[in-house]
Every structure is written in structure tokens, then in C-alpha cells.
Amino acid sequence: MKDNEATAIVAARLLALDAVEAAGSGHPGTAIALAPIATTLFHKHIRHDPRTPDWAGRDRFILSCGHASILLYTQLFLTGYDVALDDLKSFRALDSLTPGHPEYGHTPGVETTTGPLGQGLATAVGMAMGIKHEQALYDPSAAKGTSPFERTVWVLVSDGDLQEGISYEAGALAGRHKLDNLVVIYDDNDIQIAGSTSLTQSEDIAARFTAQGWKVDKVGLAENGDVDLVTLDTVLAKGAENPDRPRLVIVKSQIAWPAPHATGTAASHGSPLGAQEAAATRAVLGVETGPFEVSEEAIAYGHEAISRGAALRAHWQSKQTDWENANPDLAAELKRTRAGKLPTTLRATLPTFHPGDSLATRDASGKAIQAIAAALPEFWGGSADLAEPNRTAISHGGNFLPEEGEDSGRAGRNVHWGVREHAMAAAMNGISLINGSRFFAGTFLVFSDYQRPSIRLATLMHLPVTYLWSHDSVALGGDGPTHQPIEHLASLRAIPGFSVVRPADAVETAAAWLAILERRGPAGLVLARQPVPVASTPSETVYDGVARGAYIVLDAPDPDVIVVATGSEVALALEAAETFANSDIAVRVVSMPSREWFAEQTPEYRESVLPQAVRARVVVEAAATFGWADVAGPTGEIVGIDEFGLSAPAEDALRARGMTVERVSRAIMDTVSAAHPVQTV
């Protein structure tokens, strides 16, 4: 090892130690121990340019064990990213550039938000898939090692990452898809918060990943107890020659090494070492400087990454320019997709539906997907083994697979995720983080629970991922209560910034797809299995209304009562309203496909749809009533389902759970009376 490299590693260890001491909390042990691994990755293996962190040709580095965030921040500082020493001093403080866990979009050089263990690894698998797909679309015939689209995803994982079930799913996907652009380093330190990992696991991790189709290498401890960096470097360099497999490198380490008393202790995982141990660690390392004092040699070595990065980028740029010159049309398309722009003609290509048609919104979505896929090459998707019931397949899109064939290949637009909702959802984030892709994936709404941690991260990161959730109520019928969502809509609406979109009919479904694509945020499209009639509202009104989240579908200019419904219950509301056609009760029906989008509208628009003066309100949704009280108001009524469903044909299940015209009509009567009590003398 060169002297200045050793100096830089010592600096990285001590900066991590000092930052946690200064913050008074954090995770020092892993960051101190893994400083050599991070240093070698940032200087010799990851292709990155500290001065151009968003360079499209860069590799990606994912710190899946996000608790060790200071490990990443020290590298970003030392290698010359826009992260200053002061930022390390304000680790974990309010508004600092260095929050407790890495946050995408907040700190330059952070490629995805991590912290919930297992998510980073599965996100990285998605990134590796996204890279393969993009290369196949834009530069399919390039020989290995020559394409500007080739990039490697580097991941650091801890015991907890691999204990999480999502890592099993992610490992299987990476193996099946032969993601040779994925390199995972496993910090095999035998320690977690509870103590020794022998308390919790006895599996052979190498055998597990080998069985999933990975190439696995092991690196033991160096003689002095440190990470064996020489062997690790050799393995990483050699592994690159191994084709067709993702790689796992299992690296032995000792947490907090070389702190004299903290080494190997669970306590060093999540608490500052303390002043005494910090001083003792400095002594062991032979360093006499104080906290946050970084030697010039360490900075000089760190900044070698800047010239290295500039050279890598220049080399890439010449390949990229050659490609652009040879492929002007594709280059224009790539530019558009990476900028996140949609062709203006998209709306005109969407399918049309007519009043009198009756079809399930999942079927309408299936038709919309074909039209969008024809217009947008960046649009691809899949399903967790429910492509048929979800209607997610892109016809003639081919299967995304490493085997090139007539209907398969890396450019395939249909991803078969298998029954792996957890990893699918995390990988969707990874795909979306590789510029340009508009990715959607389906499952039943009830199984959105299996995706929730990744939905939360997608929303934190504002990623343009689309979840397609069909079978959205008890009306899915005979599969019964295990498959019938009740609380899901309310719980998804509780995620701040996430859009839940539940279109009422086929036209609303096409409009919802368009609005989701235009908004570029995380959204769930909630679809019915059963046929619903197409309302007679003009499609202009529908497209505008859906984009605004709610609009009037049956007007009464001076309504006595407003019925607000979502999805398939809009038809039920209209039917109930019909029964008052010849009465002296004026009923307005509002379709509210997205509460979140409606909440964004001007007060004037909201007032025009839901005048505050009209206190007789009925909300109809075949799901938990939780969360609707604000729309219903004190004199309103919510017609919903606050118990589990039951196994029965759709009609019977709906009736058994009170989703009937009679109940809605009664609610209309009751709320009108409640809002306008009859004056008695």
C-alpha cells in the first residue's frame, strides 16, 4: 500500500470517529472498520467524477447499510465532492448536508436513500437491470467493454441487509438476470446490535448466493486484524473478467478496528466511542492531530480521485460522442427521455371509450398500456406473477431476459418478477434512478403491503414509479378476505406525497395514466376487476377532472346533497342519485379519483366542486372509512367497509358488506335530514 493511501485511510477512520463524537450519536464502528474498503472503491474501482456527480456514464455506489452513512460522507469529502469538512462537523444536525442516513437528492454523490436494511441491495439490483435494459435499447450491438452505456453498480451490505427477506428475492433476481454489472461487498463482521450474529443466523451465505447464480469470493482478515485490502483489490480486479454473473465478495472485518477496546463490540455499532477510546484509537494509529484535523497528504491522495474522474469521464465522453454521431435519432430520444419529457402527441394516442361500454378499469388500463408503450420507448413494466389478471403485459414488447431470442432479450419490456413483491418494488426504485425509464409494475392491491417500505422510499425520493394495483375491493369476489383489500387505500393515502389514483371507469383510467405520466411522481393506480359502465361525461371534462383529482360527474347547480365516490363506487353513486331524479332532493355526484391531487387545487376550484355550504355529504368507497371524515363533515355519512370481506361472488360480497344502492340512497336521505333538520313548532 502506498503511504499516502494509508494516510487517507487513517484520515477516513478518524473523521468517522470524530463526526460521531461531535454529533453525540451515530454509527462509528462499521465506518471506522470499513474505511479501507470505501477508500479503495472510491479510488480504484468505482468509475465516478467527484466534480460531476450526475455524470450519466458513472458507476453507482450504494451503501445498503445506510446506518454507516458517515463512511460514505467521509469519502465524498476526501475525494472532492461538494461536501466540506464543516458538513462532517455538522453530521446529523438540523439541515446539514450529512443526515443520519444517506438521502438521495440531498447530498451530492448519494445515489439512493438507504437505511431500511435490505432496500439498498434490492434497489441496486433494479439499477443493474435498468442499465442493462438501457444499453440494449440504445447500443445493442456493442462488444463487451466498449459501450458508453455500460456501468457497474457497487454495493456495500451488512449482516442485517442479508438477514432481511428482501435480499433473498433480490439475490434470486440478480442471478436469474445474470447481472454481471453488479458487485456486492458483504461486511461479514459477525456482529449486529444484539451481539454476535451467531445468535441469529447459521446459514452459509456463500452457498446461498452461489445457489442463486452468483460468483462468490471470500476475503479473510489481514494478519493484523484489519480488512485484507490487498486480497480484496485482487479479487475485485479479477472478478471483472468473470462473465454472466453478479458477484458477491464476502469480506471479514472487525467492527471498530483498531479501537483498542471497542473493536469487535456490538456497542460500537450505534454509539460514540467516547473521548477516552477516541484518544486511545488515535494513539494506536500513531496520530497526534486533534479532531477533524486532516493531513495534507490525506487530502492530496483523496483529490487524486478528481483527476482520475476527469480522465474517466473524458474517455467516456469520446465514446458517447461517437455513439451520438452514429445514432442521431436515438441520441435525440435518449436526450428526451433523460430529461423526463413526454411527446406532446401522447394524449391523442390513448384509447377512447364510449358511454354504454362496460369494462373493468384493469382492462381499460391494459389498453392504455399498449398505447403508451407504442409512444414511449422508455415505458416498460411487469408484474409479480400476475401479468394476466393485472393486464400489465406489453404486447409484442418481449420478455426482459438475458437470453437473446425472438421474444426475449435485455431490451424486453416485460419483466417477470416472480412472486417477489418486496424486491420488485425496491428494484422499481433502482430502475427509476437510472435516467429516463418510466417503469410500472403490478400486483393485487392487497399485496401492496409487501411493497410498502419501497413505496415509502420512492416517495421520499420523489421517483416516477407507477404501481398498478388491480382487484381493488371485495368485488374481486370468491378469493375472499385474504385477497380483498379493506384498509389499504387509507394506509397508502397516509404516505405523505404519494398519489393514490382510483379511476371510476375506462375513460378515467386512460386519463389517470396520462396524468400520472405527466406528473412524474410516485403513484398507485388502483383498478377494479369487475366491469364498470363508462359514464356519459364528455372526455374533455374527464381528462381535466381526473388531473384535478375530483370533478362533478352529475351536476345539480344548487345541490341539497353531494355524493363523493371513488373508483367502481362512482357508478353506484350515480345509480343511487338516479333514484332521486324525480324527487325534490337535488343530488350532485363527484368522482374523486385522487384525494391528493384534489388537495393541491385552488380553494376556488375545491369550493366549486364541494361547496362548504352543502353540509349533506355522502362518501362512497368500498374500503375502510378511515380518513374520509373531513370530506363527509359532521353531518355527512361514509358508506364504506370497516370489517374484512368474505368469500362470495362479487354481487353477494358487495351486498353482504353493504355496498348497495339502497344503502347509499338511505344515506342521501339521512344526511339531507341531518343537514336540514325539520323545524317543529
Enzyme catalytic residues = 421
The residues near 385 (Cβ < 8 Å, ≥ 6 apart) are 416, 417, 418, 419
Q: What are phi and psi of 298, to 5 degrees?
A: -65, -45
Q: Is 167 in the site for Mg ion (CB under 5 A)?
A: no
Q: How far is the CB of 18 from Mg ion (least distance, A)?
A: 22
User: Interface with Mg ion by CB under 5 A: which range of 189-197, 222-230, 396-404, 469-477?
Assistant: 189-197
Residue-level length of the chain: 681
- Residue identified by cell 451488512 is 158
Rounded CA gap, 314 and 369, in Å?
A: 39
Q: Is 253 in the site for Mg ion (CB under 5 A)?
A: no
The residues near 595 (Cβ < 8 Å, ≥ 6 apart) are 493, 500, 549, 550, 631
Q: How far is the CB of 115 from ligand TPP (least distance, A)?
A: 5
Q: Is 189 in the site for Mg ion (CB under 5 A)?
A: yes
The residues near 86 (Cβ < 8 Å, ≥ 6 apart) are none
User: Furthest-apart CA pair in the chain: how many Å?
Assistant: 98
Residue nearest to Mg ion (CB): 159
Q: Give which of Mg ion, ligand TPP, none residue 117 binds (C-beta under 5 to 8 Å, depending on kind).
A: ligand TPP
**530's grid cell:** 369487475
3-class SS string, 482-513: CCCCCCHHHHHHCCCCCEEECCCCHHHHHHHH
Give the nearer residue to ligand TPP in terms of CB position, either 58 or 101: 101
Give the nearer residue to Mg ion in terms of CB position, either 232 or 672: 232
Q: Give which of Mg ion, ligand TPP, none residue 537 binds (C-beta under 5 to 8 Å, depending on kind).
A: none
Q: How far is the CB of 263 from ligand TPP (least distance, A)?
A: 13
Q: Is 188 in the site for Mg ion (CB under 5 A)?
A: no
Q: How far is the CB of 105 from ligand TPP (least distance, A)?
A: 20
Where does this chain bind ligand TPP (CB under 6 A)?
A: 30, 65, 67-68, 115-117, 158-160, 164, 189, 191-193, 255, 269
Give the nearer residue to ligand TPP in terms of CB position, either 116 or 640: 116
User: Interface with Mg ion by CB under 5 A: which range of 156-164, 165-173, 320-328, 464-472?
Assistant: 156-164
Q: How far is the CB of 220 from Mg ion (least distance, A)?
A: 16
Rounded CA gap, 153 and 180, in Å?
A: 9
Give the nearer residue to ligand TPP in terms of CB position, either 65 or 572: 65
Q: What DSSP character marks residue 43?
A: I
Determine the 3-state secondary structure of 25 from DSSP: coil
Q: Is 159 in the site for Mg ion (CB under 5 A)?
A: yes
Q: How far is the CB of 273 from Mg ion (least distance, A)?
A: 17
Residue nearest to ligand TPP (CB): 160
User: Interface with Mg ion by CB under 5 A: which range of 190-198, 259-267, 295-303, 313-321?
Assistant: 190-198
Contact 151, 170 (CB under 8 A): no
Element (H, E) at 237: helix 229-239
Q: Give which of ligand TPP, Mg ion, none residue 16 binds (C-beta under 5 to 8 Å, depending on kind).
A: none
The amino acid at 23: A
Element (H, E) at 30: helix 28-33
Q: State the residues that interact with Mg ion by CB under 5 A.
A: 158-159, 189, 191-192
